[in-house]
């Protein structure tokens, strides 16, 4: 790769910008954007406006209409604020840098406070440190270094700071894409610090089933209808469907840790809630089902199979009512390749030190809101991020490292900078 002193100076600025990066991450983690409920998007947009204004960004706030995202169970609430932060660098083309601003709930088992930054053991701990507020920090540092070193940019960066990736019915990026509120190609940071050529991912459906019975004293249950026991035929049927579903393979190349085994469709009985104490027949039972479906599967067929399984199993149940609610849906991503991928691979090599021969195409049975972007007409989606197999994303003690944030920032700088000229073969 050809480089010049100005570009090298900017790379060095990023390497020495750790104190600012750490402070930026601290401020971001302290804004609670956990989904559910997703009630902190407005406050996070306020913070990002404050942090990006000194870098000469311009801002548009877009709220997703409530009727699109309001789930039947009421688990989501608060304004769905999405922030578009644009920097006019005089380039002919935009690059949209996508970040979801929500995190999963903090959960239990943390050794450190979940909603603040703790620097310990050579790591940066906090909910969202890796997924994905740390990636926003990296992108900010890249722009800051480019401006300080007076580097011209090949692309005008547009930060898409979006709602409801971690769940829900209508992610913010879906609304922005369908309303055609941005143009140009898209770089998603919902990926990892690995030499990966993204081959796509599965779709995901969250179905909640609510069984209603009739409460009674467990010692005198004559008029009672036990909602949990009434649901047993349904749970048995779903488990049999799970065994069938998970025999279905996808042609999408599997991740390296699968060791050659194919990706398969998945069905998970993900959460169950019902009852209160031993002396009471439970009146209500809720079951959450997650179904991961491959790009080869059609949504309507998957949905029909799943709901038919539930309805058939409950047809002769003593339950007084059975209600089905879809409370989350992400569409699959298929073959997000395009003309910008070689430059992004070279940029990742610049930041992380990857060799070109290390890059392999693979997909995932995890899910992303990028499927909605493809359905809106944007095929090419680049992928990067901070995820690693051991940094406990979605678990207690989630962390990233400053070294990874710096490497990602240098990759973003390389991709955006006109001074970065990958050599043949990179």
- What DSSP string runs through 379-423? --EEEEEEE-TTS-TTSTT-EE-HHHHHHHHHHHHHHHBTT-BPP
Q: Which residues contact 218 (CB under 8 A, 6 or more apart)?
A: 224, 278, 279, 280, 281
Residues of the chain with pLDDT under 50: 425-426
For β-strands 93-100 and 185-192, DSSP reports them as parallel
Q: Residue 71's pLDDT is what?
A: 85
* pLDDT the model gives residue 181: 97
The CATH number of 203-330, from 3.40.120.10, 3.20.20.70, 3.30.70.360, 3.40.390.10, is 3.30.70.360
**Which two three-digit tokens encode residue 240?**
């049999």
Angle between helices 402-416 and 341-352 (to 10 degrees): 140
Nearest partner of 288 among 302, 306, 300, 275, judged by Cα: 306
> 83: which DSSP letter?
E
Query: DSSP letter at 251?
Result: S
pTM of the model: 0.91
Q: Say which CATH architecture domain 5-200+331-416 belongs to.
A: 3-Layer(aba) Sandwich (3.40)
Phi and psi, residue 185, nearest 5°: -80, 170
Domain positions in the chain are: 5-200+331-416, 203-330
Question: What does the pLDDT read at residue 167?
Answer: 84
Which residues partner with 96 through β-bridges?
158, 186
Rounded to whole angstroms, the Cα distance separating 388 from 194 reads: 8
Reported as a single tens digit per residue, the pLDDT across 222-242 is 999 999 999 999 999 999 999
Note the pLDDT of residue 9.
Answer: 96
Chain length of the chain: 426
Q: Note the pLDDT tens digit of each residue in 26-79.
A: 999 999 999 999 999 999 999 999 999 999 999 999 999 999 999 888 889 999
């Amino acid at each position: 790769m050809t480089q010049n002193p100005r570009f090298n100076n900017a790379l060095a600025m990023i390497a020495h910008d750790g104190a600012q990066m750490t402070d930026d991450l601290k401020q971001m983690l302290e804004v609670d954007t956990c989904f559910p409920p997703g009630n902190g998007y407005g406050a996070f947009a306020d913070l990002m406006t404050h942090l990006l204004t000194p870098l000469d960004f311009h801002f548009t706030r877009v709220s997703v209409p409530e009727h699109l995202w309001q789930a039947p169970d009421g688990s989501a609430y608060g304004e769905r604020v999405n922030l578009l932060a644009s920097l006019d660098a005089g380039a002919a083309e935009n690059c949209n840098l996508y970040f979801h601003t929500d995190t999963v709930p903090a959960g239990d088992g943390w050794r450190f406070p979940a909603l603040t930054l703790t620097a310990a053991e050579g790591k940066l701990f906090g909910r969202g440190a890796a997924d994905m507020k740390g990636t926003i920090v990296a992108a900010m540092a890249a722009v800051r270094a480019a401006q300080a070193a007076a580097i011209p940019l090949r692309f005008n960066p547009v930060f898409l700071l979006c709602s409801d990736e971690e769940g829900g019915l209508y992610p913010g990026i879906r609304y922005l894409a369908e309303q055609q509120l941005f143009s140009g190609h898209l770089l998603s940071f919902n990926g990892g610090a690995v030499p990966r050529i993204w081959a796509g991912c599965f779709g995901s459906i969250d179905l909640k089933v609510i069984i209603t019975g009739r409460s009674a004293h467990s010692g005198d249950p004559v008029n009672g209808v036990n909602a949990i026991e009434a649901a047993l035929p349904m749970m048995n049927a779903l488990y049999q469907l799970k065994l069938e579903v998970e025999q279905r393979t996808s042609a999408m190349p599997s991740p390296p840790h699968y060791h050659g085994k194919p990706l398969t469709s998945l069905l998970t009985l993900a959460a169950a809630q019902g009852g209160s104490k031993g002396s009471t027949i439970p009146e209500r039972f809720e079951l959450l089902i997650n179904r991961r479906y491959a790009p080869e599967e059609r949504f309507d067929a998957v949905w029909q199979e799943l709901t038919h399984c539930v309805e058939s199993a409950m047809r002769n149940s003593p339950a007084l009512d059975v209600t089905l609610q879809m409370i989350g849906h992400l569409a699959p991503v298929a073959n997000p390749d395009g003309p910008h991928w070689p430059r992004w691979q070279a940029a990742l090599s610049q930041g992380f030190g990857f060799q070109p021969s290390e890059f392999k195409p693979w997909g995932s049975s995890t899910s992303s809101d990028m499927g909605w972007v493809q359905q809106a007409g944007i095929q090419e989606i680049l992928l990067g991020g901070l995820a690693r197999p051991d940094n406990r994303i979605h678990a207690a003690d989630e962390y990233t490292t400053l070294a990874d944030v710096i490497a990602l920032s240098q990759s973003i700088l390389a991709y955006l900078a006109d001074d970065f000229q990958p050599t043949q073969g990179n």
